[in-house]
Structure 1
Amino acid sequence: MAQRLTIVGGGLVGASLACALEPLDLEITVFEETPLDSNAQPSFDERTIALTYGSRRIFEAIGIWDQVSYESGPIYQIHVSNRGHFGFTRLDRQDIGTDALGYVVPTRTLGRALTERLRSSAKIDYRCPAAATAIHNERDTPTARIHTTDGDLETALIVIADGGRSALTQKLGWKKRTKPYSEKALVGIVGVDRPHNGTAFERFTKHGPLALLPLKDERFALAWTLPEGEAEETADLHEDDLLARLQLAFGYRAGRFTRCQQLRVYPLSRSVLTSTVAERCVAIGNSAHTVHPVAGQGFNLGLRDVAQLAEDLACAIREEQDIGDRSLLESYAKKRRAQTGRVLSFTDGLLQAFSNEWPGIRTARNIGLNLIEIFPPAKTLLLKRTVGLAGRLPRLSRGLSLDTM
């Protein structure tokens, strides 16, 4: 008899896990609190997501990539520089032999493709709107009980994927280490007067990174880190004044900025649960960790959670094990803890290194950028880690579906 798995949260990470598990002998239920037509649904807002090449492989494996690739902008090269200083490096797809380093995808496009898959699947019970209100997960019991606005359910495993403000992780008493940043992110779409040829830009300023990610046509997705008050003030500027301020901050390497639209300001923070596992419960994605967007790793980190958890569950089913077994969940958490820690340390290290104007640090970071540029092995290692191709990879991260196990 198939075991029941329940996913709380039908956003990008929760929906991706449900689609990945669809080939397995499981009864899958997904609860999503936000109605599909609501503007409050983060999976359907105006932002864009920078998918790594490794994330593309995951979406290929679960059969989603063809539905989103037509609106994705490939990243062939990344130009990294430090405003007002000589250091820079260029990271190119040829350095690691892939079609692209990553892809810029509108969040709406990805959210729509995943939701349509959930709604059309004969193997996934997709309940929306429906909110989980409580969990009873006692030790040494064969199931947990989840209480929702759509009724109660007995389930072998509850996967919590309801976002960075997860109510369930709080109700379970899980502790979170949070570090709010004093800056905010101004995001939107900007047009330029020349082709970008698939080049992304990451320019570090004294306030934080300013990123331009290539979209279709002569457009970039903008992610501009600014002090809290300045972010709102900049977003409220007349278009000409905003473009002039952006041009001054970035320069003309990408051309002349011609227009901007869909501007939004978002708070920035870093958080991580001290434990992501309880009896018959596990947290993934932003419910387990959030990171600064400086290296574009947030959603990609959540997808790696999906790939590893899906593989561990597939192995358990193949060996006729209990998918909610505590030792299975602890094993998964241990694997993910190491990579999550590396990403958190890497992003914080970047922010500290490029915001410190002490002369010794400033010189060291400029030399470091130039060393990466002239030392191919360092560049290759950095790229493979960044795009999700380093270390032992789960099947989905290699582009292989779970139904071939």
Structure 2
Amino acid sequence: MTQNGALGGESRIDIVVAGAGYVGLATAVAIAQAQPGLTVRIIDAAPEGAWQKDQRASAIAAAACRMLERLGCWSDIAPHAQAITEMIVTDSKTADPVRPVLLTFSGEVEAGEPFAHMVPNKELNAALRAKAEALGIKLTEGVSVTDFVTEPTFTRLTLSHGETVEASLLIAADGVKSRLREKAGIRTVHWDYGQSGIVCTVAHERPHHGRAVEHFLPAGPFAILPLTGNRSSIVWTEKTTEADRLVGADPLIFESELELRFGLELGEIRAEGKPRAFPLSLTLARDFVRPRFALVGDAAHGIHPIAGQGLNLGFKDAAALAETVVEAARLGQDVGALDILENYQRWRRFDTLRMGATTDVLNRLFSNESTLLRSIRDIGLGLVERMPPLKSYFIDQAASQERNEPRLLQGEAI
């Protein structure tokens, strides 16, 4: 296979991944581990060490945990991961003194296997980077792909520091505002929700025992997600103007508003660090591939966090694209050929559209003050609570367990 060249000149390589977030790293690691003959390089526009400043945490579904274990990363992540042992759902107004539990989920998909873990982003990124380094994957930070031109047998990339790279396949993992997606001429379906997600870590007096809580409030969902120790991660949806006011407010005001929504079940609470707000929108790429070009992760789809599935969708992309590319390489096929990449697109596009539509409907259904809609959705949640087969289906969805999953998500090698 082709080999890396030196910086500043021109090099030829099999696969370039643009973006060193979790999905980009996982894609590169999965390909390099399964097919060592393919040369893989990661180009990341973020400054060196920027990822270490991320104080957030992510919900990793059971299937993605299996993938990370198969990639050899989970042993480094596990000491920092908190299993979600139970999830409860409530639907109320912010000032309601009592929030009746309408739906409960046990936290296991199989005996001893939680349907999800909460993992600090820094630890997840560090484990994937360590694995990439162990596999000999070259990672260049503080450099972006400024342009690319697709030829019949390769794509020529121009990097921001002057290097030119020829690759058989460019994988864009550069986020929801992907510049490479735009350069590839791929259009999107997009709309803003007029909401922002406030994210922060909360310390509390009493242990959470691994319980996750989702309060559906008129402004949007308020999720309490367990972390190691007496701490929880908060994902708090508000109208954007209100979210901006809250994160910019005096800490005493912010914590009083936080306590109103969080409740006193876990005792006294305290926000750790400065909260941040992120605008929420729906962005779905109309196509996932072009000749010698593929989208993964948020570059292909950005969805509302109401179901906590955004990152897990990205890991599905990584597993599916890696399996598609590796199987093609083993058959001696061109890994960047459009007919090969269309297999990946067919595999992933419907699932992505379905999840995007689901989260959109859920957000519109629950983020409002309609008494009628509240009555209807409470009846619906009550029915799910009383129907074990339906509850099992939702647990499987939360765990990202479906038919025709890529092998890595089933814990199998490619």
Show structure 2 runs of 5+ residues with no match. Answer: 3-12, 94-98
Measured in 1, the distance between the counterparts of 2:274 and 2:323 equals 38
Measured in 2, the distance between the counterparts of 1:228 and 1:180 equals 10
- Alignment match of 1:314 (pick from 323, 326, 329): 326
**Residues 85 and 114 in structure 2, CA contact (< 8 A), matched pair in contact too:** yes
Measured in 2, the distance between the counterparts of 1:302 and 1:232 equals 28
Measured in 2, the distance between the counterparts of 1:396 and 1:5 equals 20
Q: Does 1:17 align with 2:27?
A: yes
**Residues 195 and 238 in structure 2, CA contact (< 8 A), matched pair in contact too:** yes
Q: How much does 1:353 deviate?
A: 1.3
- Alignment match of 2:156 (pick from 141, 145, 149): 145
Match of 2:104 in 1: 90
Name the stretch that deviates more: 312-321 or 244-253.
244-253
Match of 1:337 in 2: 349
**Cα deviation per residue 1:211-253 (whole Å; 9 max; x = unaligned)?**
1110011110011111212212222334343232222224334
Cα RMSD after superposing both structures: 1.8
Q: Which amino acid aligns with 2:251?
A: E
Change (3 A) 1:255 1:53: farther
**Residues 288 and 349 in structure 2, CA contact (< 8 A), matched pair in contact too:** no
Kindly report which structure 2 residues correspond to 1:1-400, keeping only aligned pairs within 5 A, or say none. Answer: 1=1, 4-23=14-33, 24=35, 25-38=37-50, 41=51, 44-84=53-93, 86=100, 88-94=102-108, 97=111, 99-122=113-136, 124-138=137-151, 141-148=152-159, 149-400=161-412
Q: Which amino acid aligns with 1:59?
A: L
Change (3 A) 1:155 1:304: same
Q: How much does 1:309 deviate?
A: 0.7
Q: How much does 1:29 deviate?
A: 1.3
Measured in 2, the distance between the counterparts of 1:17 and 1:109 equals 17
Measured in 2, the distance between the counterparts of 1:289 and 1:176 equals 9
Q: Which amino acid aligns with 2:15?
A: L
Q: Which amino acid aligns with 1:132?
A: V
Measured in 2, the distance between the counterparts of 1:353 and 1:97 equals 34
Measured in 1, the distance between the counterparts of 2:369 and 2:60 equals 31
Name the stretch that deviates more: 148-157 or 290-299.
148-157
Tell me the TM-score normalised to structure 1 length. Answer: 0.93
Show structure 1 runs of 5+ residues with no match. Answer: none
Percent identity, please: 30
**Cα deviation per residue 1:324-378 (whole Å; 9 max; x = unaligned)?**
1111111210110111011111111111111244343221100111111111100
Change (3 A) 1:259 1:45: closer
- Equivalent pairs counted in the alignment come to 396
Measured in 2, the distance between the counterparts of 1:365 and 1:305 equals 32
Change (3 A) 1:252 1:326: same
Q: How much does 1:19 deviate?
A: 0.9
Tell me the TM-score normalised to structure 2 length. Answer: 0.91
**Residues 197 and 279 in structure 2, CA contact (< 8 A), matched pair in contact too:** yes
